Amino acid sequence: MTTEQNDNMVEESDDTEESNIDLTSQDYQDIIIALRNEVTELRDQVEKLSNGSGRKSQVLEMLQKYESVSILDISKEIGISTKNVSSQLTYLRSDGHKIFTDNNGRKILMPKS
């Protein structure tokens, strides 16, 4: 294959790709609107997490709200699995929160000293 033939093939494939993408002005506007909506949704999710409405914060709020609370009760109220609640308790402990288990298996948050 000569260089000229190769160049012609590249040009043909470029033409083919361009013909497959015939977007109108309205298509571009629709894409921009969809992207803006997605960016807004992602920004809202980040804001929620940074404002403390993440799962770890929700578990902490429940521990602060009740004198003692079971993992099952936390999972039901927040809508996450008991395994996830246990993970959140581990993260809270690593953040320095003192969380103990009473004789009934319920979790108790001790005030930070």
Cβ atoms within 10 A of the Cβ of 7, count?
A: 10
> For residue 96, what are its two tokens?
């320095």
* Three-state secondary structure readout of 24-72: CHHHHHHHHHHHHHHHHHHHHHHHHHHCCCCHHHHHHHHHHHCCCECHH
Residue percentage of the chain with pLDDT more than 70: 77
Cβ atoms within 10 A of the Cβ of 20, count?
A: 7
> For residue 72, what are its two tokens?
């099952």
pLDDT in tens, 18-31: 567 889 999 999 99
pLDDT band at 78 (very low <50, low <70, confident <90, very high): very high
pLDDT at 111: 86
Instruction: Say what the pTM is.
Output: 0.55
